[in-house]
Amino acid sequence: MLSAYSDDRPTPVVGAIGAIALLTLIAGLVLVFQRTGEAELPSASSVGPGKIVFTSDRGDDLDIYAINSDGSGRTQLTDSRSVESFPAWSPDGSKIAFESNRDGDTEIYVVNADGTAPTRLTDSPTADVFPKWSPDGSTIAFSSARDRNFEIYVMDADGKNQTRLTTNTVTDQAPAFSSDGTQIVFQSFRGDNSDIWRMNADGADPVRLTEDPGLDELPVWSPDGSKIAFQRAPLTDDASFSVWVMNGDGSDERQVTRTKADSNAPSWSPDSTKLAFHSNRSGGSKILIVNVDGSGMAQISRGSGFGDYVPHWQRVAPPLAKATTTTTTPPRPPTTRTPTTRRR
């Protein structure tokens, strides 16, 4: 079992902590596969709308890719010779936020859905990581170590008005908005280990939702607002992460995946009936999909010699450009009035 996020790290002095976390996770997944080596799963088909973005090292570096939810149409979106990870779709499907160390420190960037127009949103001397959009697309929540330890921040979608929401001596990370935008769920070491917490979107009224002796991480709210998915692992050397779901108030915890290998970073389908996640159960980390009740597990990405990680499922397809229509106005009858300049 491996956690890429821990509260006993030294205070970050460089902005590569997100990159280091993912690279550590990759190394751990390779070791887990050598221990498990479960059989490859069938391909997914007819799983619904929306593309899935993810990080992959199938090229020279860790870059952002997109793929249809049935595994077709894989497209590379970034190629910056750096570590780029934790992509997140905007609610309207037109943009993708992600973390990257392309300019040195790990910062938050956005690109268009086709990978064009990369724009840097944060510029701090340490790490800014784990971006997630608000449901209306106006705000991005993220974690930052700019104040000596990781806290939860929000900013406008253009990077303005960066505001700190949490103030603790321990790590708060991986924020995600509720479907109505009024609350944020996140992982925190405020207890004895990493648990899932919930607070208002302004940072008020934090409530602890899980109290497990292991690690609970990477929470994400379902689009219908009823449930929260997250990854959990016991604190034992040979344990693996699995995907769990619970109600939005923390009740009715249920395990979704049960494999020997790790199952990490769940992301909901647009209709809240399925979860995408990454797992190395078939040899090298790949993107899988499973029904929320644990049935119907299928594999989205395939290949060998590389890994695919941290998927995020698009809520809706980007809007189509409006068609331009031309209206023909019939000619006016002759007039004896003095001509005037027509307003445009």
**pLDDT value, residue 317:** 58
> Looking at the predicted structure, is the pLDDT value of residue 303 above 70?
yes
Q: What is the pLDDT of residue 38?
A: 57
Q: What are phi and psi of 64, to 5 degrees?
A: -95, 135
Query: Residue 45: its pLDDT value, please?
Result: 60
Q: Is the pLDDT of residue 198 over 60?
A: yes
Q: What is the mean pLDDT of the chain?
A: 83
Inform me whether the pLDDT recorded for 4 exceeds 80: no
pLDDT at 321 over 50: no
> Mean of the pLDDT values across residues 152-169?
97
pLDDT in tens, 58-95: 988 899 999 999 999 999 999 988 999 999 999 999 99
Distance of CA 128 to the CA centre of its chain: 14
State the pLDDT at residue 90: 98
State mean pLDDT over 98-109.
95
- pLDDT value of position 238: 79
The pLDDT > 90 percentage for the chain reads 67
Whether the pTM exceeds 0.85: the reply is no
Query: 17-313 has which CATH code?
Result: 2.120.10.30
Residue 211 has pLDDT above 50, yes or no: yes
Confidence of residue 44 (pLDDT cuts 50, 70, 90): low
pLDDT (mean) for 42-47: 59
**Listing from the earlier edge strand, what are the strands of the sheet with 107-112?**
84-89, 95-100, 107-112, 119-120
pLDDT confidence of residue 316: 76
**Lowest mean pLDDT segment, chosen from 27-41, 139-153, 180-194, 286-300:** 27-41
pLDDT for 43 equals 60
CB of 307 closer than 8 Å to CB of 87: no
pLDDT above 70 as % of the chain: 78
If you average pLDDT over residues 170-195, what whole number do you get?
95
- Domain ranges for the chain: 17-313
Q: Are 283 and 40 in contact (CB under 8 A)?
A: yes
